[in-house]
Structure 1
Amino acid sequence: MPPTPTSPPSPQRRRFLGVMIASGFALAVQPISAATIHTDSEGLLTGSVAIPTKDGSLPAYFARPNRTGPLPVVLVVQEVFGVHEHIQDLCRRLAKAGYLAVAPELYFRQGDPRKYPDISQLINQVVSKVPDEQVLADLDATLAWAGVSGGDVKRAAITGFCWGGRIVWLYSAHNPNLRAAAAWYGRLVGDKTPLTPRNPIDLVASLQVPVLGLYGGQDSSIPVDSIEKMQGLLKAAGNPSQVIVYPEAGHGFNADYRPSYNEAAAQDGWAKMLAWFAEHGAR
């Protein structure tokens, strides 16, 4: 069972204290909306862990029901702002639904995203330096950690938001052992670089996991034609993945701490995600 915040720290955990994840929101998202949702930890075990990788200890936030497992697993992939309070809250919501949810801090080698007050600075100085290959390997390590920490990796899913939505598509082509995936407003096309050599739209033939894509029709950062092209490619390939578009929603429609929040789309998308996971055996 993973350590809890109230447990005496083990020697291993004491060595990892320098990479633990703090609470609170990233500087770049201030001020926080009055509509922000806070999910309590009643009935849950929550806290930070450090996940071993080949080149360092990967910080992560986890939340799980306070009961014996094994539990179904959801990997939660951060927004561009890292594993700040919103992502931690989403982990607690998933835990309330019965999952072991774990969100690794996938920029930890490049910098701390919560310290940057300007999003363009954050992208230029941190996010643009994060290789896809590194991210996929860290998610592999996170899933392995879940498997020895009370999780049932045979009932594992992944979800991600914004920056993490793109990663969900990539990981669904990388790891055939997941049951299901849900990608929230992750870009489907974009500039290719040596660190980010593939776009989700290039990977339809390689998808090994059914993906539920959740997008906003008013999202100026994700062209509607790219969504329509992805829908067409999935259909032509006979792929079971689905892409849903909420016509009145914009980018970040699940981010209740921001003005972009669209309650109706967020609630419907969350319900559809949980149903998708259950339908495909991640429950």
Structure 2
Amino acid sequence: MSDAIRAETVYVGDEKIQAYRAVPLGAGPFPGVVVIHHLPGFDESTKEMVRRFAANGYLAICPNLFWREAPGASPDDASAFVRGQGGIPDEQIIGDVRTAADALRGLTGDDGGPAHNGKVGVIGHCSGGRQALLVATALPLDAAVDCYGAFALEPPPAASGLKMTSIKDRLGDLSCPVLGLFGDDDKNPAPEEVDRLAAILAEHGKSFERHSYEGAGHGFFAPDRPGYRPQAAVDGWRRIFAFFDQHLGGKRLQVQEAGV
């Protein structure tokens, strides 16, 4: 499997939502992944994740959830503005992720580009982890990955200025299996909140594969932040690709099934 990719900024849907897309250079068909950026915004580290998925045989796209509120602004400025407004409404997030997923499903290969295999997963870190769970309760998805999603069960403290609400009453509507990756030293979500999340999903009969890492706190996947924990991040990426390969039909799973 080649790791050659094409990555670029695109505009998708009727509203021409700004998004960053990366695709393998090959016919496919390939599975799709929507990457939901964290509260710091549509930044370079998130775009690197999009490219990583493409290099591993996925059609990947990240919609800029802040494009309406701060068009043309830098990620830092856009994030600051959105924080000041209390965040992005949940229904708007759901709509933009739906548009991004539909853009992946629309890649048929008829134009000479790669084709989609019909399956779409979603992944998010921090606030994006909460939003990955959120959209999986509202959209027909095939797999979701929640990387230390904060404030899924309880709203953030009033001092934060964020207006997120609990999504625990939505969790019975989850459309797909969920992989959750967390740090034992995290405060948002703390291990006790992750325990509650697991219990709620179990009550609803939902598939929830959970892994927590000793010595890791919030943001352990981010190599440009003090909380980066290489061992946890490497193992986390391994689990992410194994999970998506299993539920989305990734190329590596096809290779294994063929006995190569």
TM-score over 0.5 for the pair: yes
Asked whether the equivalents of residues 179 and 282 of structure 1 are also in contact (C-alpha less than 8 Å), the reply is: no
User: Which amino acid counterpart does residue 221 of structure 2 have in structure 1?
Assistant: N
Partners of 1:200 and 1:113 in 2: CA distance: 29
Asked whether the equivalents of residues 51 and 57 of structure 1 are also in contact (C-alpha less than 8 Å), the reply is: yes
Asked whether the equivalents of residues 41 and 76 of structure 2 are also in contact (C-alpha less than 8 Å), the reply is: no
1:146 correspondence with 2:104: yes
Shift of 1:155: 1.8
Structure 2: tracts of 5 or more residues without a match: 108-113, 251-260
1:180 alignment partner in structure 2: 143
1:63-91 deviations in whole A, cap 9, x for unaligned?
Answer: 11111233210000001112211011111
Shift of 1:190: 3.0
1:270 correspondence with 2:229: no
Question: Following superposition of structure 1 onto structure 2, how do residues 1-40 of structure 1 map, counting pairs within 5 Å?
Answer: none
User: Which amino acid counterpart does residue 102 of structure 2 have in structure 1?
Assistant: A
User: Which amino acid counterpart does residue 141 of structure 1 have in structure 2?
Assistant: T
Shift of 1:59: 0.6
User: Which amino acid counterpart does residue 255 of structure 1 have in structure 2?
Assistant: A
What is the count of residue pairs matched by the alignment?
236
Asked whether the equivalents of residues 157 and 282 of structure 1 are also in contact (C-alpha less than 8 Å), the reply is: no
2:221 alignment partner in structure 1: 254
- Identity of aligned pairs, percent? 29
Q: 1:256 to 1:98 in 2, by over 3 A?
A: same
Shift of 1:48: 0.5
SS at match of 1:174: coil
1:98 correspondence with 2:57: yes
Choose from 9, 20, 25 the match for 1:48.
9
Shift of 1:129: 4.0
User: Which amino acid counterpart does residue 32 of structure 2 have in structure 1?
Assistant: V
Partners of 1:43 and 1:245 in 2: CA distance: 33
SS at match of 1:49: strand
1:254-280 deviations in whole A, cap 9, x for unaligned?
Answer: 011111111111111111111111222
Asked whether the equivalents of residues 84 and 114 of structure 1 are also in contact (C-alpha less than 8 Å), the reply is: yes
Choose from 225, 232, 239 the match for 2:192.
225
SS at match of 2:185: coil
Choose from 215, 235, 238 the match for 2:205.
238
Asked whether the equivalents of residues 66 and 82 of structure 2 are also in contact (C-alpha less than 8 Å), the reply is: no
Alignment TM-score, normalising by the size of structure 2: 0.83
1:179-203 deviations in whole A, cap 9, x for unaligned?
Answer: 111111112223289x967524333
Partners of 2:207 and 2:131 in 1: CA distance: 19
Shift of 1:221: 2.5
Shift of 1:243: 2.3
Shift of 1:154: 2.0
Shift of 1:133: 0.4
2:257 alignment partner in structure 1: none
Asked whether the equivalents of residues 218 and 249 of structure 1 are also in contact (C-alpha less than 8 Å), the reply is: yes
